[in-house]
């Protein structure tokens, strides 16, 4: 399973952002997740690569 997680680029962080998508590990990271969403909304639009 660890090999699968490495291939999927899983990171062990409260919050991760990839191509404009904000994710978190589990419900315990909810506060950090919401704080990051608020931060990103305040910053406004970001340039990022479109999904292929």
H-type alpha helices, 1-52: 2-7, 30-43
* CA pair distance 41, 22, nearest whole angstrom: 12
Listed by start position, the domains of the chain span 2-43
pLDDT digits (tens, 9 = 90+) for 1-44: 677 666 777 778 999 988 788 999 899 999 999 999 999 899 88
Whether this prediction's pTM lies above 0.85 is answered by: no
CA distances from 1 to 6, 8, 27, 29, 33 (A): 9, 11, 22, 22, 25
pLDDT greater than 90 at residue 51: no
What confidence score (pLDDT) does residue 27 get?
94
Coarse DSSP helix, strand, coil percentages of the chain, rounded to the nearest 5 percent: 45, 15, 40
């Amino acid at each position: 399973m660890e090999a699968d997680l490495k291939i999927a680029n899983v990171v062990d962080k409260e919050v991760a952002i990839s191509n404009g998508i904000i994710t978190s590990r589990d419900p315990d990271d909810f506060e950090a997740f919401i704080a990051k969403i608020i931060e990103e909304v305040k910053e406004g639009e970001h340039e990022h690569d479109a999904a292929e």
